[in-house]
Structure 1
C-alpha cells in the first residue's frame, strides 16, 4: 500500500501581500519557514521513501525544512508546478480585478468558465496531475511519499481522487500553507486519512 503525504509550501512574501504567484516565485516568510519546520517535527518519525516537489523555490525550501537532516532523496517534478497565470503573476488580487474582473471571478467562483490565453486552464493542470499521480503510483508501489506542491495542484488532486466536477474545484477544505493531507492508495482505491490538517501549527500557537 502506498501512502501519500501531501502539503503546500509555507507562507511566502507574496502570499502575505495577497499576490498571485503561479510560475513566479517569492521567498518564504519567517512564519512560512517556522510552519514547515513544525510539520517536519510532526513527521520526524514517518519513514519516507522519497520527497517529490515542484521545482519552484518556495516548495523546494519547504521540502528541505520538512525533511531536515534525514537522508531522503528529493525529486523535482515540473508537473507539480503551480498553475501558469500569465500576466496575473506577481500582481495583487485588486490589480487583477482591474485587469479582467470577469475572468478573476471565474477563477474563484466559476472555474469551469475560467480561461487565460497567456497561461493554463484548470484542465491543463488536471492533465498534469493525472500524469504525475499515475507515475508516482507506478514508481512507488508501497511506503510513504511526501509531495510538496501548490494550492491549485492540491485542489486538483482532491478533484481527481474524490471524482469531483470542476464546478466544485474550490469546495472545502481550504489548502493553507503546510497543511497536511494524507491519502492511502490501495489497488486503485483512494482513501483520505486526513484533509488539509494544521494541527502542528495550532499546537505551536497554544504553547
Structure 2
C-alpha cells in the first residue's frame, strides 16, 4: 500500500488579488509562508519516506518546508504543474468574466466542457496527474509520499481517484496549505482525509478564491 499526503501550496500574492495564475510562477505571500510552516509542523512527526512537488515555486517551497523536517530532498514532477489557463493567466477574475463571459460561466458550471484559450482543459490535467499517481503507487509501494501541487491538480486527481468525472470538479474544495491523505492498496484508491485545515487554526476557512 502507498499513502500519499497531498498538499496544496500556501497562499500567493495573486490568490489575494484574485488573479488567475495557472502556470505563472507566483511567490508565496507572507501568510502563505506562515501556512506552509504550520503544515510542516503538523507533519513533523508523521513518517514520510519521500517528497515530490510541482516545479512551480509556490508548491515547491511549501513542500520543502515539510520535507526539511524529515531531511528529504524534494523531487520535481512536471505532471503536477497547475493547469495552464492560457490567455487568462495574470488577469483578474472580473476582467476574465468581462472578456470571456460564456467561457467564464461554463468554467463555474460545467468546467469539464471548458478549453482554456491557448491553455489546457481539465482532461489534460487529469491525464497527467493520474499518470503520476499511478506511477507513484507502483514505484513507491509500502511508502508514505508527500506530494505538493495545486488547486486544479488536486481537485482533478481526487475526483479521478474516486471515480468522478471532471463535472464534479467544484464539489471538491482545496484551501491553501490544506492536507489530504489518499491510499492505494492493490490498485484500489481511497480518500482518507480531505481539505484538512485544522493545523491552520480553523475547521472551515470561509475563503472562496476568485482565481486559481
Listed as ranges, the gaps of 5+ residues in structure 2 are: 203-212
Q: Does the 8 Å CA contact 2:162/2:191 hold for their aligned counterparts?
A: no
Structure 1 residue matching 2:63: 3-state secondary structure = helix
Alignment of 1:128-167 (within 5 A): 128-167=128-167
What is the distance in 2 between the residues matched to 1:131 and 1:93? Answer: 30
Q: CA deviation at 1:112?
A: 2.3
Render the CA deviation track for 1:125-161: whole Å, top value 9, x for unaligned: 1110121111111210112100100000000111111
What is residue 171 of structure 1 aligned with on the other side? 171
What is the distance in 1 between the residues matched to 2:163 and 2:201? Answer: 30
**1:51 equivalent in alignment to 2:51:** yes
Q: CA deviation at 1:69?
A: 4.3
What is the distance in 1 between the residues matched to 2:57 and 2:24? Answer: 9
Deviates more, 1:186-195 or 1:88-97: 186-195
Structure 1 residue matching 2:193: 3-state secondary structure = strand
Q: CA deviation at 1:67?
A: 2.2
What is the distance in 2 between the residues matched to 1:32 and 1:48? Answer: 22
What is the distance in 2 between the residues matched to 1:59 and 1:6? Answer: 11
What is the distance in 1 between the residues matched to 2:12 and 2:194? Answer: 22
What is the distance in 2 between the residues matched to 1:12 and 1:55? Answer: 15
Deviates more, 1:106-115 or 1:52-61: 106-115
What is the distance in 2 between the residues matched to 1:77 and 1:112? Answer: 24
Structure 2 residue matching 1:170: 3-state secondary structure = helix
The number of residue pairs the alignment matches comes to 203
What is the distance in 2 between the residues matched to 1:69 and 1:192? Answer: 25
Render the CA deviation track for 1:152-184: whole Å, top value 9, x for unaligned: 000011111111122211113x10011110011
Q: CA deviation at 1:97?
A: 0.8
Q: CA deviation at 1:109?
A: 1.3
Q: Does the 8 Å CA contact 2:40/2:69 hold for their aligned counterparts?
A: no
Listed as ranges, the gaps of 5+ residues in structure 1 are: none
TM-score (normalizing by structure 1):
0.94
What is the distance in 1 between the residues matched to 2:48 and 2:134? Answer: 19
Structure 2 residue matching 1:68: 3-state secondary structure = helix
TM-score (normalizing by structure 2):
0.92
